[in-house]
């Protein structure tokens, strides 16, 4: 081989050894599924093809890869490429098995995605191999039959020479070989359609929307004369409509909502605590406690101020995060340039090491040839010693065989004596067992066992005591059943009381909902007013500068 071919062979061998665990996953699965009739010695063939397709296809080029595949057995390569470049296999179990050995993101980006990109061209190569299998015809080379020719002697013409007649040979017509039928392509199972209920809204939500629209319409058309006792200002008209909407809560409660016992008790305890807090606050007001409206107003203003400061701080952090991202991208681009330089140095060192390795291998081969020649000369002198040693061993074997025969004869005689004694003993035991014996015994259920224990009792007494225990157990079960029924009824009554209490408190929640809605509206208005201080403006300016620098660096790369 020249230097280029030798380098390619060494690189392929080193890659197959380095990624042996990955290649074994694919080749072993192919041997189990589609390669059941392949030889075990062909494992390395499939491993090399798998390595070239996964790691060297970009460097080799598709044309050189196609020539390598077509130079091998057509049936084997057609089966293996169809198995390995299957979209379903690459995206499922091959990626999962390789991810157990290497990082899943690295496997997908560097191996699975390139294989999927090459899959259309490889599919064309598979179709070419299939067509070659279908159109292949076996041609049998027929040997040329010798045609005899007349032989002329240099004699006078008057003497006639008998010319031998050629013999006829009838050759048998060779049978045509069977054409290998390609296996059908695997067909994926039909997927289960998505149920139509996935894209439909639930029935309860639709009912809630209808009730909400009805209540809103009812609040709008309500006669304003019903509220003549109070003068409603224009700016408070919207608040009144919202209060009317939330006062129509009982119509929403008509929708059936399942509540278990724990939920009812939990909600009842919540409302009970709220009621106790309201009563306590009312008592404090009656006893002369001060009004907290001014404090609450001041507290509200301070909270709005804190909210504005928090929004400004959040905006600063967001801009700092973007600035850090731009700096990280610039650092990453610098690292890529440094890595490229290091990779060039490593390639040069690798080429130098491979050259040294090749020279070392040639020297080792030369030394090995000299060693083989020395060993062959030594073997010639050893043959005579082997013949003498073989004769000596044969003599020892004959002596050992004679001693073994004598020992075996003595062991057989001793075993016969033991068998005779055993046979006589068995005959005596059978004679004793054949004698008749009386085994009948009368059982009295009223008598005890007579073992001398304090707790002994007869079977009749035992039965009576068991009957008494059953009756006592049955009475205890009846009493326990009555107790459970009584507790169940008490619990049901408690749950009914809690449900009545919950329905009363839910009617009062409508008032609080309107107030919460107004508070949410104010908060949303506060969020819309972003305070842009000098820090935010400086960070935005730095962010624009870093973005321009990153785009410039990307253009250079």
Q: Please give the residue range of the domain that contains residue 122.
A: 3-136
Contact predicate 227/491, CB 8 Å? no
Residue 44 CB coordination number (10 Å):
12
Q: How far is CA 528 from the centre of its chain?
A: 46
H or E stretch covering 529: none
Contact predicate 114/57, CB 8 Å? yes
Contact predicate 78/20, CB 8 Å? no
State the total domains in the chain: 1
Residue 98 is assigned to a structural domain of this protein: yes
pLDDT < 70 stretches in the chain = 35-37, 136-145, 151-171, 173, 175-182, 221-258, 289-293, 380-381, 436-442, 523-533, 557
Q: What is the rounded distance in angstroms from the CA atom of residue 183 to the CA atom of residue 186?
A: 9
CB contact set of 364 (below 8 Å; sequence gap of 6+)? none
The pair of three-digit structure tokens given for residue 188, joined into one six-digit string: 């994926």
3-state secondary structure of 45: helix
Q: How far is CA 252 from the centre of its chain?
A: 47
Q: What is the rounded distance in angstroms from the CA atom of residue 23 to the CA atom of residue 15?
A: 10
The pair of three-digit structure tokens given for residue 500, joined into one six-digit string: 């009545």
Q: What is the rounded distance in angstroms from the CA atom of residue 10 to the CA atom of residue 18?
A: 12
The candidate with the shortest Cα–Cα distance to 38, out of 68, 71, 83, 70, is 83
Question: For 183-191, which contacts have Cβ atoms below 8 Å and span 24 or more sequence positions?
Answer: 183/34, 183/79, 185/82, 186/86, 186/88, 188/88
Residue 65 is assigned to a structural domain of this protein: yes
Q: By 3-state DSSP, what share of the chain in percent is helix, strand and coil, each rounded to 5?
A: 75, 0, 25
Q: What is the rounded distance in angstroms from the CA atom of residue 57 to the CA atom of residue 78?
A: 17
The model's pTM is 0.29
Q: How far is CA 44 from the centre of its chain?
A: 28
The pair of three-digit structure tokens given for residue 288, joined into one six-digit string: 């002369």
Q: What is the rounded distance in angstroms from the CA atom of residue 93 to the CA atom of residue 311?
A: 48
Q: How far is CA 530 from the centre of its chain?
A: 47
Q: pLDDT tens across 88-119, in order?
A: 888 888 888 888 888 888 888 888 888 888 88
What radius of gyration, in Å, describes the C-alpha atoms of the chain?
Answer: 51
Q: What is the rounded distance in angstroms from the CA atom of residue 79 to the CA atom of residue 501?
A: 76
Residue 494 is assigned to a structural domain of this protein: no
Please list the alpha-helical segments (H only) found in 103-255.
104-107, 113-135, 203-220, 237-247, 249-252
Residue 174 is assigned to a structural domain of this protein: no
Contact predicate 133/78, CB 8 Å? yes
| CA-to-CA separations, 521 to 301, 349, 515, 516, 527, in angstroms, rounded | 15, 70, 10, 9, 10
Per-residue model confidence (pLDDT) at position 143: 55
Residue 87 is assigned to a structural domain of this protein: yes
| CA-to-CA separations, 2 to 14, 321, 480, in angstroms, rounded | 18, 57, 98
Q: What is the rounded distance in angstroms from the CA atom of residue 472 to the CA atom of residue 487?
A: 23
Q: What is the rounded distance in angstroms from the CA atom of residue 201 to the CA atom of residue 299?
A: 43
Contact predicate 23/16, CB 8 Å? yes
Q: What is the rounded distance in angstroms from the CA atom of residue 268 to the CA atom of residue 494?
A: 10
Residue 112 is classified by DSSP as I
CB contact set of 243 (below 8 Å; sequence gap of 6+)? 510, 511, 514
Contact predicate 46/80, CB 8 Å? yes
Q: What is the rounded distance in angstroms from the CA atom of residue 38 to the CA atom of residue 36?
A: 6
Residue 253 is assigned to a structural domain of this protein: no
Q: What is the rounded distance in angstroms from the CA atom of residue 429 to the CA atom of residue 91?
A: 77
Residue 102 is assigned to a structural domain of this protein: yes
Residue 393 CB coordination number (10 Å):
9
């Amino acid at each position: 081989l020249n230097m280029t071919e030798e380098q390619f062979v060494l690189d392929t061998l080193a890659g197959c050894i380095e990624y042996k665990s990955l290649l074994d996953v694919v080749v072993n699965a192919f041997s189990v599924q589609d390669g059941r009739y392949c030889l075990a010695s062909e494992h390395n063939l499939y491993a090399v093809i798998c390595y070239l397709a996964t790691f060297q296809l970009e460097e080799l080029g598709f044309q050189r890869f196609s020539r390598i595949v077509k130079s091998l057995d057509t049936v084997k390569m057609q089966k293996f490429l169809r198995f390995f470049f299957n979209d379903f296999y690459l995206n499922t179990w091959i990626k999962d098995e390789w991810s157990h050995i290497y990082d899943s993101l690295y496997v997908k980006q560097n191996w699975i995605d390139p294989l999927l990109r090459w899959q259309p061209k490889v599919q064309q190569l598979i179709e070419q191999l299939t067509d070659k299998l279908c159109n292949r015809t076996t041609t049998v080379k027929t040997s040329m039959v010798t045609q005899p020719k007349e032989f002329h002697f240099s004699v006078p013409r008057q003497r006639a020479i008998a010319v031998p007649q050629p013999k006829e040979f009838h050759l048998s017509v060779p049978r045509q070989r069977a054409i290998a039928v390609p296996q059908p392509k695997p067909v994926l199972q039909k997927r289960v359609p998505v149920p139509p209920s996935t894209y439909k809204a639930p029935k309860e939500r639709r009912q809630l929307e209808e009730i909400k629209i009805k209540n809103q319409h009812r609040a709008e058309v309500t006669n304003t004369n019903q509220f003549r006792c109070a003068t409603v200002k224009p700016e408070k008209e919207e608040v009144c409509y919202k209060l009317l909407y939330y006062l129509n809560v009982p119509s929403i409660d008509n929708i059936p909502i399942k509540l278990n016992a724990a939920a009812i008790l939990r909600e009842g305890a919540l409302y009970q605590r709220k009621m106790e807090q309201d009563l306590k606050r009312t008592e404090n007001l009656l006893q002369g406690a001060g009004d907290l409206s001014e404090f609450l107003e001041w507290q509200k203003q301070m909270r709005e101020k804190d909210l504005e400061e928090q929004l400004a701080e959040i905006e600063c952090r967001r801009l700092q995060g973007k600035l850090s991202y731009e700096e990280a991208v610039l650092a990453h681009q610098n690292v890529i340039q440094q890595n490229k330089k290091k990779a060039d140095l490593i390639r040069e060192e690798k080429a130098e090491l491979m050259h040294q390795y090749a020279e070392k291998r040639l020297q080792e081969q030369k030394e090995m040839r000299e060693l083989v020649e020395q060993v062959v000369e030594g073997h010639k002198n050893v043959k005579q010693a082997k013949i003498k040693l073989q004769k000596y061993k044969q003599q020892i074997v004959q002596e050992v065989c004679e001693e073994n025969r004598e020992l075996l004869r003595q062991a057989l005689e001793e075993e016969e004596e033991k068998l005779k004694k055993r046979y006589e003993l068995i005959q005596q035991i059978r004679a004793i067992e054949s004698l008749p014996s009386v085994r009948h015994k009368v059982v009295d259920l009223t008598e005890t066992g007579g073992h001398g224990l304090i707790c002994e009792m007869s079977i009749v007494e035992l039965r009576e005591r068991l009957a008494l225990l059953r009756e006592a157990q049955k009475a205890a079960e009846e009493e326990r059943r009555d107790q459970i029924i009584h507790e169940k009824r008490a619990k049901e009554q408690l749950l009914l009381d809690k449900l009545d209490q919950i329905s009363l408190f839910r009617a009062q929640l409508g008032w609080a909902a309107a107030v919460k809605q107004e508070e949410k509206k104010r908060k949303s208005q506060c969020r819309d007013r972003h305070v842009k201080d000098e820090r935010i403006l400086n960070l935005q300016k730095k962010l624009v500068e870093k973005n321009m620098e990153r785009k410039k660096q990307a253009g250079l790369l």
